Chains A and B, each alone.
Chain A
Amino acid sequence: MIRAILLLCFVFALFSNSAAAKVFAPEVFTLANGLRVVIVRNALSEAFAQMLWVSAGAVDDPEGKAGVAHYLEHMMFKDTKRLEAGDFSASIAARGGKDNAFTDADSTAYHITIGTETLGLAMALEAERLDALLLDPSKVETERAVILNERRERTQGDPAAAFQEEFTKTFWSGHPYGRPIIGEERTIKNITVEDLQAFYKRFYVPRNAVLLISGAVKTADVLRLASGTFGRLPSEKERGSLALSTPLRAPSLRVMTMRDARVRQPFFVKRTLVPSLRNNAQQAAAFDVLAEVLGGGEVGILYRRFVMEKGQVSAIDVHYDSVTRGPATFSIAGTPVPNGDPKALARAVALYLRALERKGFSAADVGAAKKRLLASAVFVQDDLMVPAHILGQALANGYDLDAVEAWPTRIARVQARDVATALHALLAEGHALTGFLLTENAP
C-alpha cells in the first residue's frame, strides 16, 4: 500500500562535542526536504511523545489581523485531503493517546502522547496535516465562534487576564510582541480563509519545522517512519529570516495602572527588556542566575527580604525566558500582604535593588543559585514531553542544540560580578514598564 520510498539522503548530525555536562543528549537528523528530526531518549516510559514545532507564531500575523497563527492552529484539527474534521484526534484517541497544540508569540507546537506501536500512525497523521490541510470555509466560520468564546473566557471574566493583555500591549509599544496571541475581537472577526491559506502556505513547510520524538524508541525506526511520512513532503523554500525587523520603541509610560471592581487582591509587576540568548549567550546565563538569586523559591533574596524579614509581601515571582526569537524580558511581580499598598511595595523593591547594585552579590548566594540551576537539569529529564518542549522551542526559534545542551557549561561559568553586571544592566535599561492592578477605589 505504501509507495516505494523515494531516494533520500539525510544529513546526520549527532551533537556530542560539547566538552562539559549535557542536558538531554538528543540525536538530530535533517531530511532532504529540510525537516529536522530530533530523538530524545526516555527509558522509563512505554508511551512516547511527539511534537511538531513550526517556526511561525503570533508575531508573524499580518498587520491588522492579530490571531491568524492561533486560528490556523485550531483549523489544523479539521479537514485535510485524506482526513475529515475530527479524524485526527479520533485516531489518536482510539489508541489511548492525547493530542493538543498551542500557539506562542514566536512559534506553534502540535503534540501527541500515545502508547507504543503507534509511532507510524502519529507521524502519518502529523505529516498529512502539514502537507494537505483544506480549510473548508463553513468550518472556518464555526471555528470563529469558538475562538471568540475562548477569548471571552480567557480575558473577560478575570481582571488579571485583561490587565495582562493591556500591560503587554503597552510594554511593546506597537511591536508585534504586543499583540494578544488569540487576537482581539475586531481582528478575529476580520480574518478570512485567504489569510489562513496564505499563512499556511508560507510557513507550514518542512524546512520551517522540527519534529521531536521522546521515548524508548529505536533511531532506525524513527528514521524509517519519518522518511516514509514526512520525507515524502515536497521541499519548499524557507520562510526567510526568523528575525523580527520591527524597530523597538520604549513604552510611552513608565507606569500603567488599571482599576477594576472585580479585583480582590491587587499586585504589581515590572517588566524590562534584556538580552536574549541570541543577543549574548553568556550574558543570558548571568540573567538566568540573577533570576534564581532574586527569585529562587523561598530561598531567593527578594522572598527573604520582603516576605520573611519585612512581612510586606505574600508572594514574589521572578521570570526570565532567554530562548526567544526577538528581544527577551525580565519580570518581577509582587503581591502585597492584605491591605498592603502595592505602590509602596514596588518602590521598596526598586530601592532594595539599587542597594543590591551598590553592594553586589556574595559568592555564596551566587554559588547556591548556580548549584540549584544545575541540579534542575536532572529533574527536568523526569518527564516525557518537557525535554521535547525545551529542545523544540530552541530549534524552532532559530537556535542550535548548544543553546540547550551547553546551558550547564554557561551557567557554571557565571561569576558574582557577572550577576552584578546583569543587575546593573537591568536597572539602567530604559525600556521598562511597571504595572499595577488595583481595586476599584484604591488611591
Chain B
Amino acid sequence: MKFRNFFFASLLFFSFGHAACAAPTIKEIVSPSGLTAWLVEDRTLPLVAMRFSFNGGVETDAKDKQGLASLTATLMTQGAGPYDAKTFQDKLAAASIHLGFGAGRDFFQGDMTFLRAEKEEAFRLLSLALTQPHFSEEALERAKNAQSAAARFQLADPEWQTRRALFDFVFARHPYGFRALGSSKSLKTIAREDIAAFARQSFSRDNVRIVIVGAITADETAKALDRVFGGLPAKQIRTEMDSVVWPTHPQTVCVPRKGGQTDFFFAAPMMRRSDPDWYAALVANYLLGGGGFESRLMHAVREQGGMTYGISTSLMPMEKASMIAGGFSVQGDEAIKALATMRRVWQDFYENGATFQEVEAAKAYLMGAMETRLTSRASVADMLLDVREKELGLDYFEKRKKLLQAVSADDVMRVLSAWFDPSRLSFAAVGATQALACDAVKQEAEE
C-alpha cells in the first residue's frame, strides 16, 4: 500500500489502531428456577431484542423427512394456547411484537423484538408459543406450501446448486448434508405428529440459552425467564450425533448446466473452534480470502485478472465438523484460468506464509471490526447468542483481544502448514463443466 501524499500516510497507522473497548457490559441473570440469561441493558431506545436457541437444528431431521425442523420453525407462531393462527398473529401485530423462529445447522433459534411498553404481552405470547403450540393440520398445509415454493426458488439459483453439489459429496454420510427446506417429496411425508415430536424432544430447560438486550432490568429479566421458559420439560431428549468423517480423497464434482456463468464452491476440513490456534487461523483466512479487497485471492482473481465479481473464503466451525469454504463465479471459458490462479495463490500462501506487516494488518482489522458488529440491540443480541452457542464465555471480548494480539507470523505459518494444504480442497462446479477435470459428473438437484 503506497500513498502519493504524506497527508494520508500520516493519518494511517504504524500505530495499528488500538481499538477502543468494545465489550458490552453483560450481566448474567439467574432466575428463581435456575434458568440463566445474558443481559445488556440499554435505555436509549424503548426497545428490547431477545434471542434464544435450543440444541438441534436441520441435521436432526430424518433422512426421508428433510425440512421438518424448518417447518416446525414456521409453525411456532401459527396458533398457541387459546388462540388460533389468525388470532395469535393478530395479537402479535396489535402489540407490534416481532417474533420469529428458524432452524439452522446445530441450533433451533428464536428471536423476539418488542417495545418496552409491550413486554408483558410479549412474554405471555412467547410462553404460549413454546409450551402450547397448536401445530394444526391447516397451518401445516400452509407451511408446506410456502416451504415447497421456497425450495423450488432455490433450485433455479446456480449458487445454491453449487453448494448443494459440494455438501452432497462432503456430507454424503452425515446429516449435515440434509436440505434445510427439504424437497417437495420429503415434505409430503411430514405429519403433524412429526412436528409435535420435534418440539417435545427439543424444547427443554436444560438446553436453552437466552440473551436479552435493551430497555429491561435485571429483575424484570429474571421474572420473565421463568414465565417464558419455566413451563418447558426439564430435559431434552436427543441422541448425540457422530462427528463428520471427511472423504479420504478430495474430489471435483461437476454439474453441467446451460445458461449463465460457471460457479465454484470449495471446502476442506479445518481445526475446531476450541483449538488454541483458532485466532491464527482467523488471521490466515482473512489474508487468503476473508478480507474482501484486502485478500490475496480477491487481489489476484478480481483486481488483477478481472475474472470474477467476487471470490472469498470463510471459516465455518460447527458442532460436529469444521471447515474452510469459499466460492466464485466466472465466465465459462475463463474457468480453467481462474482455477489455476486461485490454486497458485493458495499454494504460495501455504508454502511461504505471510509477512509481519500482513499479519499486523489482519489483526488490526479483526480487532477493530468487533466494534462495527455491535451497533444495535439486534446485532449485539445476535453476537451474544453466537458466543453462548459456541461456549466462548462471558469474558469473550477481553479474551479475544488478548489472543488476537498474541498471534505472530510464526503462528500463522504453523497453522498454514497444518490446515491450509490446497490439495485437500474438494470442489463443486456448476455450469459449462465439459472442459474441467471432473472426478464425478452429477445432475442438478431437481426436486
Contacts and interface: CB of A to CB of B under 8 A. Distances in A.
Interface string B308-330: 11000000000000000000011
B42 interface: yes
B375 A264 contact: no
Contacts of B89: 297-299
A127 to B, nearest CB: 11
A147 B42 CA distance: 43
Nearest to B20: A116
B19 interface: yes
Interface string A135-152: 000000011111111101
- What is the interface of chain A mostly: helix, strand, loop, or mixed? mixed
A82 B49 CA distance: 44
Contact of A152 (B20, B331, B365): B331
A93 B16 CA distance: 11
Contacts of A120: 11
A384 B10 CA distance: 28
Contacts, number: 245
Contact of B90 (A91, A128, A265, A299): A299
Nearest to B153: A265
Given A149-B307, A160-B156, A86 B293 contact: yes
A329 interface: no
B259 A84 contact: no
A85 B7 CA distance: 16
B394 interface: no
Please classify how large the interface on chain B is, using the bins under 10, 10 to 19, 20 to 34, 35 or more: 35 or more
Interface stretch (A272-280, A283-291, A304-312): A304-312
Interface stretch (B140-148, B203-211, B240-248): B140-148
A90 interface: yes
Given A142-B303, A146-B306, A157-B261, A96 B368 contact: yes
Contacts of A262: 156, 259
B372 A113 contact: yes
A232 to B, nearest CB: 11
Given A378-B45, A382-B378, A90 B1 contact: yes
Nearest to B139: A308
B8 A124 contact: yes
Contacts of A114: 368, 372
A152 B260 contact: yes
A43 interface: yes
A296 interface: yes
A239 B399 CA distance: 52
Interface in A153-172: 153, 156-160
24 contacts: A47-B374, A83-B3, A84-B3, A87-B2, A89-B293, A93-B291, A93-B294, A96-B364, A96-B369, A113-B375, A120-B11, A124-B8, A145-B307, A146-B308, A147-B309, A265-B155, A298-B93, A299-B93, A314-B146, A338-B149, A375-B115, A378-B45, A381-B45, A383-B378
Q: Which 8 A-B pairs have the closest CB atoms?
A: A96-B368, A145-B306, A265-B152, A157-B260, A375-B96, A82-B5, A314-B149, A384-B375
Interface of A: 1-2, 42-47, 49, 77, 81-87, 89-91, 93-98, 113-118, 120-121, 124-125, 128, 142-150, 152-153, 156-160, 261-265, 296-299, 304, 307-308, 311, 314-315, 335, 337-338, 368, 371-372, 375-376, 378-379, 381-385
Interface of B: 1-8, 10-13, 16-17, 19-22, 42, 44-47, 49, 85-86, 89-90, 93-94, 96, 98, 113, 115, 141-142, 145-146, 148-150, 152-153, 155-159, 184, 258-261, 263, 291-294, 302-304, 306-309, 329-331, 361, 364-372, 374-378, 380
